[in-house]
Chain A
Amino acid sequence: MALTLDALVAIATLVLVVTGLFLIFGLLHVINLAHTGLMAVGVYAEWSFRRHGIPFWPSIFLAAAVTGAAGAVIEVVVIRRLYSRPLDTILATWGLSLVLVQGITWIYGATSRFVGLPTVGSTDVIGTPYSNYRLILILLACGIIAGLALIVRFTTVGLTIRAVMTNEPLARSHGINTVRVRQLTFITGAAFAGFAGAVLGPIQGVDPNFGATLVATGFLAVLLSGRTLLGLVLSCALLGTVATLYARYENAVWANGVIVGVAVVILRFRPQGLSIRRS
């Protein structure tokens, strides 16, 4: 049971990390390598807010707002100029991640910091006591996925998003302001990055390279997703489970390497990833 819960936490962590990446990749066809940097900004923002006495949950949403604002600036200054050069977006966002991480180091120093848990203690899950906060993470991840699925399926916003994803020129000719859609998507993605950073802060340990190890897996999960929400859940589940099992039975250090291997092999034979489309 503990192993199952560990796997679920690993999957939930991955889902939290990749949601923002996934939104940006799905709509903008851009892999945002600055995602790690934005997560770090989120967790440091949370740390600062909490030091000023703001409680845990509000400070998380404030942190998301901070990275969302950072995302707005990045979109205008960098991303928008590179729409016609997708490969250069990779490089630019990579440079940005360096800027963000070094900027944080400059301001806060390289030492590790600590963000306290909002709740301590554990709950009994079918006979196994398990940390409350980790259970909350699992619920949060489920909530985010369910929320996204509902928004995409049933709201006008979702319809607009689907239209832009499927055929951008056509969407533009139907009067959708695709530039605005891209802009809002990037900002939302950045806010999600900050949110993920802030939520994971208490269990990951806070330093400027925050999230660097998680995010390599996250990028692969996004590529594996084949730009569908179901594919995203499947690939997070697969990679999270493999990582937990390998770390449990073999070696925690090599687990990340094994994940890359798994993802590469799947993508070699199924370039469309784990997406399942109705034909």
Chain B
Amino acid sequence: MTGQRLFRVAAAAVVLCVVVLMPHLLGAYYLSLLTESILFAIAALSLDLVWGYTGVPDLGHALWFGTGALAVGMMTTNVDSFGLVHLVHSGLGTYVAGIAIGMAAAGAVALVVGLASFSQGESDPFYIAIVTLALTVIAGTVYSQESKWTGGDNGLFGFAYHGFSGDTWYYISAALLVLVAGGALVLVRSDFGLVMRAIRDNERRIRFFGTNVEAAKIGVFVLGAVLSALAGGVYASIVGFVSAPLFGFLFSTQMVIWVAVGGRGTILGPIIGAIGLSFVTSKLSASYPTQWAFFLGLLFVAVVVFVPDGVFPPLVRQGRGLVHRRRPPRLSRNFVAATPARPELRPKGEPVCVVSEVKFAYGALEVLRGVDFEIKAGELLCIVGPNGAGKSTMLNVLTDGKLPADGSISFFVHHGEVVRKGRPIHAIARGGIARKFQIPHLFDSLTVAETILLASRKGRIPSLWRRTREIPVGRSVHEILEATGLEGREDTPSPALAHGLKQGLELAAATSVRPELLLLDEPTAGLTSNERHVIGDVFRRLVEAGMTIVLIEHDLDFVARVADRVIVLHGGKVVESGTPAEVSESVVVREAYVGTAVT
């Protein structure tokens, strides 16, 4: 057992003892305070999953906590016509049912909000923040008006469950926190946890791996709401009080502050932040409510601006150590085929993609003016053309059915014909089409191996609790890693890679999707000539194994060596097509690249 491991076990044992003995160490007042802050910690943790890990800024997280609390209040009380609150049910079953109903209601509302707010295409990242903020502001006003159910401005009160002692409530809350934190830890360490962080880091890129980003976001958003409602329901059962502020703006802000100060994207941080700050708050807000809220706001701004990772970096690092598995994922040496052999795979020479009369414009700038070409199964097609010819735009239009382009594009892959139009990026990617970008777009918090793991998942629903240890990849992925110098750097975080290595990782990731059609935008830019040579051989072998590759390339020597066929894009049209030799003889190409000779 290493020293660090020993330290961790010892620390855990000490923490456990303190947790168990706490009722004997604290008086009744502080114990109830601690119990409340433990429930706040659960809410903070649920917000952290949504915002810290998945990058969805839920500024109205109190809404869900309040919903849980209100459900318990409504189940156990009755408001008479004079506006007086009467306790009507006090059995434990009613409270449990109230909590369950609150969780279900919060989940349902969150589902509706999520479905309405997370749309495919280019929705603004601020959007969900504004919607949740607006909801929490409105919930406050509505609460005070609908007094028949909510008790109005006074709220509902006097419905605390008296069947448990303070000690029992403390143990129940602590057990819940342990359960939620344990569950969250398993979740963020799973394959799905990788997807969550990838969405936070680079939402657009992971769509091209076939991940349904909206579904994942909605799932996490609902989970966060349900967990927050659980905390709210238990909280209301203990204190027997619910009112508008539990839904409101200020409480939502406090939750965000707990997570921000404690450290977003960690498990321990929000727990420490919530418990620590709510202890201080309850001490100070009694005598200095305004001043304390003022300083809390200042603290929050300072944390966001200067220490965005939170104020407990050493603890955060411990937390990170737990998140990254002791055994990180490895690329399997039992190679799989470069592209899955399917009986329905198109025979060599038949078209896998037909592009006809495609037009696309950025505002008034017409980039594609009626592009026609075919991609044939099992060929390596190079698209060449001067800068601004529309090559990268062509790939964008191919892979994103939501872009408004005229003309038609059909793919014949995987399950027969796929029409591009209207299909979101991830659906096209799942059809067996992978893409590498001209400029590397990677994930800031993911290592090389984790990036390849995500790509190799091909958008299949990832496990919520298991982390893949051995990534099934084709031999070509190893060859690319070796050729570009990434071998042995599987655990390097991708922002730490040099430009050439990032290019290599992009290429390896796109290849590890094991696509039927691989679209590569300048895959050899930033590589040395020796590396290019090796990569060229890898491409040839992939094509021989049955993959279809489209390459955008400027280096005509490289093109001549690897391509089966070349098309020339110039001024938004295909102006030339043929074998590399034919095309390089062409006058049009020479004019496009070099200009016209003056005679």
Binding site for B on A (CB under 8 A): 31, 33, 77-78, 81-82, 85-88, 90-92, 94-96, 98-99, 102-103, 105-106, 110, 212-213, 216-217, 219-220, 223, 253-254, 256-257, 260, 264-265, 267-268, 271, 277-279
Binding site for A on B (CB under 8 A): 55, 57, 59, 116-117, 119, 121-127, 129-131, 133-135, 137-138, 141-142, 145-146, 249-250, 253, 256-257, 260, 290-291, 293-294, 296-298, 300-301, 304-305, 308, 361, 363-364
Determine the chain A residues whose CB is within 8 A of the CB of B297 once the complex forms.
Answer: 95-96, 98-99, 102
CB B54 to nearest CB in A, in angstroms, measures 12
Residue in B closest to A37 when the chains form the complex, CB atoms: B297
Contact B125 A87 (CB under 8 A): yes
Partner of A105, one of B126, B127, B130, B290: B290
Contact A91 B260 (CB under 8 A): yes
Known contacts A102-B290, A219-B134, A271-B122: A277-B129 contact under CB 8 Å:
no
Determine the chain A residues whose CB is within 8 A of the CB of B304 once the complex forms.
Answer: 82, 88, 91-92, 95
CB<8 Å pairs between A and B, sample of 21: A78-B305, A85-B308, A88-B304, A88-B308, A91-B256, A91-B260, A92-B305, A94-B253, A94-B256, A95-B257, A96-B301, A98-B250, A99-B294, A216-B133, A223-B127, A253-B141, A260-B134, A264-B116, A268-B119, A271-B124, A277-B363
Partner of B305, one of A81, A90, A213, A216: A81
Known contacts A78-B305, A85-B308, A92-B305: A256-B141 contact under CB 8 Å:
yes
Contact A271 B119 (CB under 8 A): yes
Determine the chain A residues whose CB is within 8 A of the CB of B308 once the complex forms.
Answer: 85, 88
Distance in angstroms between the alpha carbons of A253 and B144 in the assembled complex: 10
CB B119 to nearest CB in A, in angstroms, measures 5
Q: Which 8 A-B pairs have the closest CB atoms?
A: A98-B297, A99-B297, A95-B300, A216-B134, A102-B294, A95-B301, A253-B145, A102-B293
Known contacts A213-B141, A271-B119: A91-B57 contact under CB 8 Å:
yes
Distance in angstroms between the alpha carbons of A233 and B364 in the assembled complex: 24
Determine the chain B residues whose CB is within 8 A of the CB of A217 once the complex forms.
Answer: 134
CB B285 to nearest CB in A, in angstroms, measures 11
Determine the chain A residues whose CB is within 8 A of the CB of B138 once the complex forms.
Answer: 216, 256-257, 260
Distance in angstroms between the alpha carbons of A95 and B124 in the assembled complex: 21
Contact B301 A267 (CB under 8 A): no
How many inter-chain residue pairs (CB < 8 Å) link A and B? 121
CB A32 to nearest CB in B, in angstroms, measures 11
Taking each of A81, A92, A220, which has the highest tally of chain B beta carbons within 10 Å of its own beta carbon?
Answer: A92
Contact A33 B301 (CB under 8 A): no
Residue in B closest to A74 when the chains form the complex, CB atoms: B301
Residue in A closest to B300 when the chains form the complex, CB atoms: A95
Distance in angstroms between the alpha carbons of A88 and B52 in the assembled complex: 12
Contact A279 B116 (CB under 8 A): no
Q: Other than the known A98-B250, A216-B134, what 19 A-B pairs have Cβ atoms closer than 8 Å? A: A81-B305, A85-B308, A87-B55, A87-B125, A90-B129, A98-B293, A99-B298, A99-B301, A102-B297, A106-B290, A220-B134, A253-B145, A256-B134, A257-B142, A260-B134, A264-B131, A271-B119, A271-B121, A277-B363
Contact A265 B116 (CB under 8 A): yes
Determine the chain A residues whose CB is within 8 A of the CB of B260 once the complex forms.
Answer: 91
Determine the chain A residues whose CB is within 8 A of the CB of B127 once the complex forms.
Answer: 223, 267
Determine the chain A residues whose CB is within 8 A of the CB of B145 once the complex forms.
Answer: 253
Residue in A closest to B293 when the chains form the complex, CB atoms: A102
Distance in angstroms between the alpha carbons of A96 and B296 in the assembled complex: 10
Distance in angstroms between the alpha carbons of A71 and B112 in the assembled complex: 37
Determine the chain B residues whose CB is within 8 A of the CB of A219 once the complex forms.
Answer: 130, 133-134
Contact B55 A271 (CB under 8 A): no
Contact B134 A98 (CB under 8 A): no
CB A203 to nearest CB in B, in angstroms, measures 18
Distance in angstroms between the alpha carbons of A90 and B130 in the assembled complex: 9
Determine the chain B residues whose CB is within 8 A of the CB of A86 once the complex forms.
Answer: 125-126
Distance in angstroms between the alpha carbons of A106 and B296 in the assembled complex: 14
Determine the chain B residues whose CB is within 8 A of the CB of A279 once the complex forms.
Answer: 361, 363-364
Determine the chain A residues whose CB is within 8 A of the CB of B296 once the complex forms.
Answer: 98
Known contacts A103-B294, A279-B364: A92-B301 contact under CB 8 Å:
yes
Determine the chain B residues whose CB is within 8 A of the CB of A277 once the complex forms.
Answer: 363
Residue in A closest to B257 when the chains form the complex, CB atoms: A95
CB A19 to nearest CB in B, in angstroms, measures 17
Determine the chain A residues whose CB is within 8 A of the CB of B131 once the complex forms.
Answer: 260, 264
CB B121 to nearest CB in A, in angstroms, measures 5
Determine the chain B residues whose CB is within 8 A of the CB of A77 once the complex forms.
Answer: 305
Determine the chain A residues whose CB is within 8 A of the CB of B298 once the complex forms.
Answer: 95, 99
Determine the chain B residues whose CB is within 8 A of the CB of A94 once the complex forms.
Answer: 59, 253, 256
CB B64 to nearest CB in A, in angstroms, measures 17
Distance in angstroms between the alpha carbons of A127 and B122 in the assembled complex: 49
Distance in angstroms between the alpha carbons of A23 and B496 in the assembled complex: 37
CB B425 to nearest CB in A, in angstroms, measures 15
Residue in B closest to A105 when the chains form the complex, CB atoms: B290
Distance in angstroms between the alpha carbons of A78 and B300 in the assembled complex: 12
Contact A220 B256 (CB under 8 A): no
Residue in A closest to B124 when the chains form the complex, CB atoms: A223
Distance in angstroms between the alpha carbons of A268 and B364 in the assembled complex: 26
Distance in angstroms between the alpha carbons of A105 and B361 in the assembled complex: 53
Distance in angstroms between the alpha carbons of A220 and B130 in the assembled complex: 7
Distance in angstroms between the alpha carbons of A267 and B124 in the assembled complex: 10
Distance in angstroms between the alpha carbons of A118 and B33 in the assembled complex: 51
Distance in angstroms between the alpha carbons of A212 and B57 in the assembled complex: 19
Distance in angstroms between the alpha carbons of A98 and B127 in the assembled complex: 20
Residue in B closest to A31 when the chains form the complex, CB atoms: B126
Partner of B123, one of A85, A90, A102, A271: A271
